[in-house]
Structure 1
């Protein structure tokens, strides 16, 4: 079991490095550093989901319906940030602030970064015991 955990960490770290490399190359090759905003967007995206999941405080003594709206708010804000991470390079390319090649590299790299962050949380989630 420990070997599978190490292999998972190595593979996910490699994918994360490729994502960062694509975003950094999209800004460095085309001499425009606006595409680095995608990294900030994708790194911030899981935070509202995590915070609202912790704030819902599901236990046996509270009504489960009241905490569900907080979780849904976190999912909405996270979804907004993920869509913004894809749409931002498209808008920048449409306004001719970045080149279309930089847009594609930035979107692919950003999706790799966000997918890796989500995969880390899914693979290494600790189940709560009573």
Structure 2
């Protein structure tokens, strides 16, 4: 086995790499706040929690899988909860991207602080999203394995 292949496939190395990228994102956001303004830190927090509604509604959606209700009208309520979480997450993400631009046009943030905040926030959100997808266990228990029985 090649040493570079084992380095890339080791999950601990992936977690350490994502942690380094996350710390770089927070560093950029804090550096943007050096100019005497605390708004980039608030925007960094918005980017950090932007994926949280999706995670929460996904947990609610998955916990309601075993209610044995086969009525399509009742199953749409779980889709509404899931879609609301996606909407709220998208709202936070778009707010995180456009709030530095609005603050820059209002002459509250400098151009450098705006760019550092957007890049740092993108790194933060990308890392949080990758962490959550890395630890997301998608088990397809609903699928019946093919036993090779042929046609009945």
Give yes or no for TM over 0.5.
yes
Deviation at 1:127, TM superposition (A): 3.6
**TM-superposed deviation, 1:62:** 2.8
2:63 pairs with 1:44: no
Structure 1 gap ranges (5+): none
Deviates more, 1:8-17 or 1:33-42: 33-42
Q: Pairwise CA RMSD of aligned residues?
A: 2.0
Q: Does 1:61 align with 2:68?
A: yes
1:117 maps onto 2:128 in alignment: yes
Any runs of at least 4 consecutive aligned residues in structure 1 with deviations exceeding 6 A, and if so which?
A: none
Q: 1:12 aligns with which of 18, 37, 43?
A: 18
Give the length in aligned residue pairs: 129
Structure 2: state its 5+ residue gaps. Answer: 1-5, 142-152
- Does residue 108 of structure 1 match 2:119? yes
